[in-house]
Amino acid sequence: QVQLVESGGGLVQAGGSLRLSCAASGRTFSNYNAGWFRQAPGKERKFVAAVNRSGSNTIYSDSVSGRFTISRDNTKNTVYLQMNSLKPEDTAVYYCAADRSTYGSNSAEYDYWGQGTQVTVSS
């Protein structure tokens, strides 16, 4: 079992920045790929970014590419999502996910999830 706890969400003006953190516990986190997903009210959960076990490879959705950066520090068992140039359409609950084998954008393939952190971007 892996437990994931997100933090760092909040209210920010358009054009601003936030950094989300996802702290993992329970197992050796470096054995798990990790991803960030988001869900806006009334909409389905969508892929944002993913990072492989070592942090050497990352992938992004088209909507955040060039603005968001995913990274990890396995010595701290933490995954980060640096969000710059935020837009109102980035408003959502952001979820961290982890899986031993999955490295990609399909949320159904991730076994472990955090409780989410709210990000609100005002115009």
Query: pLDDT, tens digit, for every residue of 10-57?
Result: 999 999 999 999 999 987 899 999 999 999 999 999 999 999 999 999
pLDDT value at position 20?
98
Q: Are 6 and 22 in contact (CB under 8 A)?
A: yes
C-alpha 81/C-alpha 61 separation (Å) is 13
Which residue, among 16, 56, 27, 22, has the nearest Cα to 37 in the 3D structure?
22
pLDDT value at position 115?
97
